[in-house]
């Protein structure tokens, strides 16, 4: 049996308690994903708690070795995982999409395994001596979204396991098969009970948050759901890492070469067909280069093929679900009615299967338009004209979110000066959205709190202990 068929068969079910999973590009039924009851999810937490002490006792060296073996397992099944991901999430195999995502899972596992333990001597002055250690929390609940269902799961799972915790992972109900497939492959290398899948609807996630045996919740998703998690976790004083909604701004200074930056701008906005929390979602361009930047973006965007993910030629796919299609369509139509100029796209073919929305560029749009101030989370970029840099920075900082941002300029020092004035967890210079397993990542304002990746990510997946004396 081919690897894809074998892996898919291992995670699908004919049971009554299951959810039909459809390909968002074709509408075809892929399979049925099992769903847990609340009692079964609680039992999963209990099993993870029972396994935690032995896992922690292995020590960092052995846990790191196990993570490398888990990376080997993902690498060996990489094509099957990418095909499941492409069919369920919709993203194409090629470009910065399905194969890229599975490859990132391997890289993050290996780097997390090899990141030095964050133990620190904080005082050693001859009379006092103190060390700061980071110990396991216990059970970590990992709640992942549907846009990058494998990569973001690894961002949560890998540091939690490395630091001696066990994990109960709830994949999004929109991408159950992707989450289940990844966990099944990881468990080829992990001891029993160390990583347990808890597929289900929002009620399963709420149960994880409320369960007193879960010492930490790691969540990536909407700000609205993040606020509910904060409220629900308060009674247990559960530790939280929250990576919430974003509406990232980019500011283009007048000294740029529009053609030189156009492709980077495009992928900053349209990676994963725009379905990325830290994608470029509103672009402020100086009047001196405004039309040239618009023209260069149209040239790049119009050359990017969109279609079924399993077609090797495509680099843009459908929106993952009808709900998100409706959000994007509503915002574009409101912008069109307001008098904004549609440079490209904005006219989906509604008589064809799949949640396809064409790559869309909107110019001459009011900075207060809903398409600018709401997170569209799709293949649409509003381009706002400005003449005064201070005003552009004020507009960039004017929303209640602050995940990422970018500044585009031929003068790197000037760009850094502008970046320092922007309220965002990460500000990229002449790029947007790139992440690295050793560079801390997190949001400000209502984009959440807590850091992921590198040493800071290990600290976030543990509890500090000072040994004094």
Q: Where in the chain is the domain with CATH 3.40.309.10?
A: 248-429
pLDDT at 2: 80
Closest CA to 96 of 165, 148, 138, 155: 148
Residue 441's region, left for phi above 0, alpha for psi from -120 to 50, else beta, is beta
Distance CA 381, CA 371 (A): 9
At residue 361, φ and ψ (nearest 5 deg) are -120, 130
Distance CA 408, CA 268 (A): 12
CATH H-level, domain 3-244+447-468: superfamily: Aldehyde Dehydrogenase; Chain A, domain 1 (3.40.605.10)
Pairing of strands 341-344, 360-363: antiparallel
- Give the number of C-alpha atoms closer than 13 A to the C-alpha of residue 272, restricted to the C-beta side: 22
Sign of the torsion formed by the C-alpha atoms of 15, 19, 22 and 28: positive
Let me know: does 355 contact 324? Beta carbons within 8 Å.
Answer: yes
Q: What angle is formed at CA 357 by the lines to CA 354 and CA 360, rounded to 5 degrees?
A: 165
Sign of the torsion formed by the C-alpha atoms of 434, 437, 440 and 443: positive
DSSP symbols for 340-373:
-EEEE-----TTSSS-----EEEES--TTSHHHH
Distance CA 269, CA 382 (A): 10
Distance CA 313, CA 92 (A): 9
Per-residue pLDDT of the chain (469 residues; tens, 9 = 90+): 589 999 999 999 988 899 999 999 999 999 999 999 999 999 999 999 999 999 999 999 999 999 999 999 999 999 999 999 999 999 999 999 999 999 999 999 999 999 999 899 999 999 999 999 999 999 999 999 999 999 999 999 999 999 999 999 999 999 999 999 999 999 999 999 999 999 999 999 999 999 999 999 999 999 999 999 999 999 999 999 999 999 999 999 999 999 999 999 999 999 999 999 999 999 999 999 999 999 999 999 999 999 999 999 999 999 999 999 999 999 999 999 999 999 999 999 998 999 999 999 999 999 999 999 999 999 999 999 999 999 999 999 999 999 999 999 999 999 999 999 999 999 999 999 999 999 999 999 999 999 999 999 999 999 999 999 9
Question: 21: part of which helix (H) or strand (E)?
Answer: strand 18-22
Check whether domain 248-429 has CATH 3.40.309.10, yes or no: yes
Q: Where in the chain is the domain with CATH 3.40.605.10?
A: 3-244+447-468
pLDDT at 159: 98
Closest CA to 443 of 435, 456, 434, 452: 452
23: which DSSP letter? -
Distance CA 38, CA 204 (A): 6
Closest CA to 26 of 356, 379, 347: 356
Pairing of strands 248-252, 380-386: unpaired
Closest CA to 55 of 171, 182, 160, 152: 160
Can you read off the two tokens belonging to residue 86? 């492409």
Q: What are the Cα distances from residue 318, in Å, to 329, 343, 368?
A: 13, 20, 28
Closest CA to 112 of 148, 60, 147, 75: 60
Could you list the beta-strand ranges (E) of 239-279: 239-243, 248-252
Could you tell me the pTM of the whole model? 0.97
R_g of the chain, CA atoms, integer Å: 23
In the block, residue with structure tokens 């308060």:
234
Q: Give catalytic residues, as residue numbers.
A: 243, 277
pLDDT at 228: 97
């Amino acid at each position: 049996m081919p690897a894809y068929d074998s892996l898919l068969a291992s995670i699908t079910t004919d049971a009554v308690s299951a959810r039909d999973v459809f390909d968002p590009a074709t509408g075809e039924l892929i399979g049925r994903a099992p769903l847990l009851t609340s009692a079964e999810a609680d039992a999963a937490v209990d099993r993870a708690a029972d396994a935690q002490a032995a896992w922690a006792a292995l020590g960092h060296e052995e846990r790191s070795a196990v993570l490398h073996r888990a990376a080997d397992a993902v690498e060996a099944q990489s094509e099957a995982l990418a095909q499941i991901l492409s069919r369920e999430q919709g993203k194409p195999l090629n470009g910065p999409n399905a194969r890229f995502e599975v490859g990132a899972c391997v890289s993050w596992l290996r780097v997390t395994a090899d990141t030095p333990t964050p133990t620190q001597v904080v005082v050693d002055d001859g009379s006092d001596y103190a060390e700061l250690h980071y110990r396991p929390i216990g059970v970590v609940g990992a709640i992942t979204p549907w846009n990058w269902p494998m990569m973001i799961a690894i961002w949560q799972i890998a540091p939690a396991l490395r630091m001696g915790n066990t994990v109960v992972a709830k994949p999004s109900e929109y991408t159950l098969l992707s989450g289940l497939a990844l966990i099944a492959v990881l468990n080829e290398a992990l001891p029993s009970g160390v990583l347990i899948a808890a597929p289900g609807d929002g009620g399963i996630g709420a149960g994880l948050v409320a369960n007193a045996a879960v010492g930490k919740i790691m969540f990536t998703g909407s700000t609205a759901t993040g606020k509910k998690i904060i409220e629900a976790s308060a009674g247990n004083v559960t530790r939280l890492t929250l990576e919430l909604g974003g509406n990232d701004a980019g500011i283009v200074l007048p000294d740029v070469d529009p053609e030189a930056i156009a492709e980077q701008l495009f992928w900053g906005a349209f990676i994963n067909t725009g379905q990325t929390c830290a994608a470029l979602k509103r672009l402020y361009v100086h009047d001196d280069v405004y039309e040239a930047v618009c023209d260069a973006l149209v040239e790049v965007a119009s050359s990017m093929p969109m279609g079924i993910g399993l077609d090797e030629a495509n680099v843009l796919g459908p929106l993952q679900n009808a709900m998100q299609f409706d959000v994007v369509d509503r915002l574009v139509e409101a912008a069109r009615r307001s008098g904004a100029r549609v440079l490209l796209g904005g006219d989906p073919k509604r008589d064809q299967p799949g949640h396809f929305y064409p790559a869309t560029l909107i110019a001459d749009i009011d900075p207060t338009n809903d398409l600018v101030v709401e997170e569209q989370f799709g293949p649409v970029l509003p381009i706002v004209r400005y003449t005064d840099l201070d005003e552009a920075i004020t507009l960039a900082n004017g929303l209640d979110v602050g995940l990422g941002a970018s500044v585009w300029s031929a003068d790197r020092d000037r760009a850094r000066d502008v970046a320092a004035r922007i309220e965002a967890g990460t500000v990229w210079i002449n790029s947007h959205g790139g992440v690295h397993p050793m560079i801390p990542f997190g949001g400000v304002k209502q984009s959440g709190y807590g850091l992921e990746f590198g040493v800071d990510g290990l600290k976030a997946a543990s509890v500090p202990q000072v040994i004094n004396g």
